Structure 1
């Protein structure tokens, strides 16, 4: 653990999602440039447009930002928020499943090289793109891993889309898990600091999450266990209690450092983590956004 702490000390000094002491000091911006997703999680319902404005959770954004608009948007934002040091891509779909993510990272590398660049992914395509991310100057990767047992994962994710095929149930779950493990290992080899996000679903993976920590302990820097937000196909399941969350974190901490201050941010969040700012359409400005058909799975 000490070796990993030393290896990524430069990240923990500046990234509020890797150091909870920075929440009121350093801001971040999520660029919602990645609308499409390649897996179907049963708890995930993405929202776009005005219907998203009252929601504070991953998978929602007021609009999809085109890479061509990124530079102007950031220049304007940085004039208003001088505390932003981190620029991330967190969907609202899967970052690595959208070519716009890489177009945006190229812009960030050229125009905003001083900023820490990060992204979030489900990890299905991480083995393929880990090196490319490193070459584009990405420093941190958050990978959502909810199970390392295909039987459990199949209860959380209905299907995956991989190499031109839709793989359902345990078949898809097995491929997803294998790629997540391989991808995180590759990311570590390329000096990317990896945070494992794990959604705690008491009835499904509550007793299993410690196995996720065991599996990734040698390659991931930190684990972030977050509570299920009951919705979509899991709307009838319950949200874990505070005691349950603390207990699972305590058990997993034996194997991996635990991050305990996640805000479950929107895909277009901006500013300090405790603030609820996000990208909104400017009055009188016709933003060039994607057709809603591109927002589905």
Structure 2
């Protein structure tokens, strides 16, 4: 089968293109429970069917269950064009991610495969992602400064060792930069998600935008903080502040404006 072009992936992927939301749907497969970093804004301890935020799922799936689920969805809705893995943990830290992607790609090579990752393992896992048919990658980058990053991440677990504070934040950004750079070199479409955390990284996001653009990211998505976890006492940024930030950064890198902060088990159309 002919490989999808860069332009075709963007045209059909609703998370990368607002126009695509009118015609194409996606499914997130919740097969990856483990995570290798601790973010102060993250909690995956509960689920409500009316709750729409990253990291939430009503159940975990095995790779076989996920494949059967995709088969049923594709038969029922021909608009499903994208299969992604976005948690509820870190996809690249879970072997189940690879089993799922390989099986789905073997059965549905025409579907766009994508992952959402913190980027810590992205560079070293790119060969496997290529074999599994992954062509679109979203990397969450909240800081490129170790000082700012140390306020966002509790720890980074890498190759059997725990890194905290500035050391963990610096390690994470180095890995993210290299992962984005190499992914783009391989022809993948790269989106960066950045959580806007008032009083923590809001004055730093312009530096983040310039850095990820230099690394090769195609588009950036500013996500307003959902107060929870270690940041439960912070106030979420109002919509007008988020919009102003997007306007400020749009001359640097193209901005996503239609994000729905999808769950790890999201399915169907974005609109």
| Kept in 2: contact 1:66–1:100 (CA 8 A) | yes
SS in 2 for 1:54: coil
For the pair 1:41 / 2:22, whether they are aligned, the reply is no
Question: Which string of whole-angstrom CA distances, capped at 9 and with x for unpartnered residues, describes residues 104-157 of structure 1?
Answer: 111012111110000000000011112221222111000000010011011111
Structure 2 gaps, min length 5: none
1:158-179 CA-to-partner distances (Å, cap 9, x unmatched) read 1010010111111111100110
Query: What corresponds to 1:239 in structure 2?
Result: 236
Match of 1:3 in 2: none
1:260 aligns with 2:254: no
| Structure 1 alignment gaps of length 5 or more | 1-6, 275-297
**Counterpart Cα distance in 1 of 2:209 and 2:128:** 26
Which of 187, 198, 203 does residue 202 from structure 1 map onto?
198
* 1:273 paired residue number: 270
1:281 aligned partner:
none
Task: Show the 5 A alignment for 1:1-297.
Answer: 8-47=6-45, 51-218=47-214, 219-274=216-271
Asked whether the 8 Å contact 1:47–1:59 carries over to 2, the reply is no
In the TM superposition, what is the alpha-carbon distance from 1:52 to its structure 2 partner?
3.5
Once the two structures are superposed, residues 183-237 of structure 1 have per-residue CA deviations (whole angstroms, 9 ceiling, x without a partner) of: 1101111111100000001211111101111011130010000100011111110
Between 75-84 and 141-150, report the one with greater CA deviation.
75-84
* Contact 1:131/1:190 (<8 A) preserved: no
Contact 2:14–2:20, Cα closer than 8 Å, also in 1: yes
Distance 1:71 1:171 in 2: 39
In the alignment, is the contact (CA less than 8 A) between 2:10 and 2:189 conserved in 1?
Answer: no
Conserved 8 A contact 1:134-1:192: no
**Alignment: residue pair count:** 266
Structure 1 distance, partners of 2:255, 2:94, is 29
Q: TM-score, normalised by structure 2?
A: 0.95
CA contact (8 A) 2:157 2:163 kept: yes
What is the rounded CA distance, in whole Å, between the counterparts of 1:135 and 1:37 in structure 2?
23
Post-superposition CA distance 1:42-100 (Å, at most 9, x none) = 0100135xx34232110011111101222221111222222100000000000100011
Query: After TM superposition, which residue ranges in structure 1, 4 or more long, deviate above 3 angstroms?
Result: none
Quick one: distance in 2 between partners of 1:247 and 1:131?
38
Task: Provide TM-score, normalisation by structure 1.
Answer: 0.87
CA distance in 2, matches of 1:154, 1:98: 25
Q: CA RMSD in A?
A: 1.2
Quote the offset at 1:26 in angstroms: 0.7
Whether the aligned pair in 2 keeps the contact of 1:143 and 1:194 (CA below 8 Å) is yes
Per mean C-alpha deviation after superposition, the further-off stretch among 129-138 and 174-183 is: 129-138
